[in-house]
A and B are shown apart, each in its own frame.
Chain A
Amino acid sequence: MRPYLLLLGLAVAPSLWAAGPAQFIAEYSAQAGAGFTADAARGKAFAGKNWGVSEKLSSCTACHTENPRNPGRHAVTGKTIQPLSPAVNPERFSDPAKVEKWFKRNCKEVVGRACSPAEKADFIQFVAGAQ
């Protein structure tokens, strides 16, 4: 019995301590202020919005497609982009430095400013829950 318990513990433990989408949503929601609840529908609208800042990189979905489970393609270079969905691509939303780096770079380029914690929480809620 004990070896089984140990194995079970090993299998479950990483999801307890490794950063995952839920931790990012919780962290950004806390930053957004009391009473804020992340909303996937708002996140979907945000991802699809044409911000009118960059002609080719007009929205998140211009490169990442409307379905986060699908691979995307860079609208300028044509390079394949691995899916955003952590269910399909477990590397996503696992490294805080990476998550912040890409929000910083892509928000500036596509939205034309830094994204707010509320926008980030909504966005991850949408991406992580995509079926």
Chain B
Amino acid sequence: MKRFLIVLAALAALPAWAERNALPTGMPAAYQSECGSCHTPFPPGLLSAADWKATMAGLEDHFGTDASLDAKSAGAISAWLETNASRRIQAAGKPPRLTTTAWFKREHREVPTKAWQDSRVKSAANCAACHRGADQGRYGEREIDIPGIGRWED
């Protein structure tokens, strides 16, 4: 009986354990306070190291905004992004946009057009509009709640 309960507990814990946090350990505090003030603190694994490098090199004109940082913060953020960057995701354009990769499109192919157009979503980069744990790096299916549609279940 006791063994059975242990197995049961392990199985119950599995989904939470299997859903790795998308913001790997070692995240500089400045990533949340600088980058994460204006947009979702994007998971480093959504771009290649080369694209993160290009993004960090162009912060003076960051999608129309001057998002330049002090050298210390920029160095710490760059190192963490590049260390945890994807080794599979392809180049995402110039400037790199993580919402344009084949991976991003494939993952979101079932999302109806009306959800993208909802004023509460506004931008495909507004991860937290639907992924309610995005600011903490949680993208598990159980935390998906799409404005105007509701919970997402396959």
The answer to the question of A113 belonging to the interface, with a C-beta cut-off of 8 Å to chain B, is no
A77 touches B39 (CB 8 A): yes
B122 touches A78 (CB 8 A): yes
By a CB distance below 8 angstroms, the chain A residues around B125 are 77-78
CA distance A109 to B128 in the complex (A): 24
A77 touches B126 (CB 8 A): yes
CA distance A54 to B129 in the complex (A): 24
CA distance A109 to B65 in the complex (A): 7
B121 touches A79 (CB 8 A): no
The answer to the question of B5 belonging to the interface, with a C-beta cut-off of 8 Å to chain A, is no
Chain A binding surface SS class: loop
Interface band, chain B: 10 to 19
Q: Which residue of A lies closest to B40 (CB)?
A: A79
By a CB distance below 8 angstroms, the chain B residues around A78 are 120-123, 125-126, 129
CA distance A80 to B39 in the complex (A): 9
A108 touches B66 (CB 8 A): yes
Residue in contact with B66 in the complex, picked from A73, A74, A105, CB distance below 8 Å: A105
The answer to the question of A76 belonging to the interface, with a C-beta cut-off of 8 Å to chain B, is yes
B38 touches A74 (CB 8 A): yes
By a CB distance below 8 angstroms, the chain A residues around B39 are 74, 77, 79
A77 touches B66 (CB 8 A): no
Within A67-85, which residues are at the interface with B (CB < 8 Å)?
Answer: 73-74, 76-80
Instruction: Give a binary string over B97-128; 1 marks a CB under 8 Å from any A CB, 0 the rest.
Output: 00000000000000000000000111101101
Instruction: List the 4 closest pairs (A to B, CB-CB), nearest first.
Output: A78-B122, A78-B126, A77-B39, A78-B123
